[in-house]
């Protein structure tokens, strides 16, 4: 079973608009991470938020974490065509001794000029 579940599965927006996607998870986590994947490539790490953090920013990215609801959101502000990609959340469980990362199915984002 997947630990992280992204929502929506797909998102289509115009350049300049904001894109928001959500991730829900099931167990207590040590941290939650967001990754981007361009077509035909490996995943690239965007941002890591620890379980004791509520919000984190990196450039045009804003991530929130609500551990009481077991959910996180990724906001991309002022989107660009280059932001077209799939976005995945990944969690590392607090109860996992060996640090297994578990991924959701991802949100596919298309930004049109």
Partner 1 sequence: DAGITQSPRHKVTETGTPVTLRCHQTENHRYMYWYRQDPGHGLRLIHYSYGVKDTDKGEVSDGYSVSRSKTEDFLLTLESATSSQTSVYFCAITREPYNSPLHFGNGTRLTVT
Question: Of 40 and 113, which has the nearer Cβ to partner 1?
Answer: 40
> 3-state DSSP: the chain helix, strand, coil percent, rounded to 5?
5, 60, 40
Q: Does the footprint of partner 1 cover residue 45 (CB under 8 A)?
A: yes
Is there binding between residue 104 and partner 1 (CB under 8 A)? yes
Torsion angles phi and psi, residue 59, rounded to 5: 60, -120
- Nearer to partner 1 (CB atom), residue 1 or residue 68: 1
Encoded one letter per residue, x for contact with partner 1 by CB under 8 A and - for no contact, window 71-100 reads -----------------x-x-x-----xxx
Taking contact as CB under 8 A, which single stretch among the options 15-23, 39-47, 65-73, 75-83 is the one that binds partner 1? 39-47
- Residue with smaller CB distance to partner 1, 33 or 79: 33
Give the residues across from 103 on adjacent strands: 90
User: How many angstroms separate the CA atoms of 101 and 82, rounded?
Assistant: 26
CA distances from 80 to 16, 29, 89, 100, 106 (A): 6, 31, 21, 33, 19
| Site for partner 1, rule CB under 8 A | 1-2, 4, 30-31, 33, 35, 40-45, 48, 88, 90, 92, 98-106
């Amino acid at each position: 079973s997947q630990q992280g579940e992204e929502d929506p599965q797909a998102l289509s927006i115009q350049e300049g608009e904001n894109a928001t996607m959500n991730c829900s998870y099931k167990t207590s986590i040590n941290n939650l991470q967001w990754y981007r994947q361009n077509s035909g490539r490996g995943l690239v790490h965007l941002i890591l938020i620890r379980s004791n953090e509520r919000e984190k920013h990196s450039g045009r990215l804003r991530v929130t974490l609500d551990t009481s609801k077991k959910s996180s959101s990724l906001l991309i502000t002022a989107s660009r065509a280059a932001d077209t990609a799939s976005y995945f959340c990944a969690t590392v469980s607090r109860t996992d001794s060996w640090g297994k990362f578990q991924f959701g199915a991802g949100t596919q984002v298309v930004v049109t000029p």
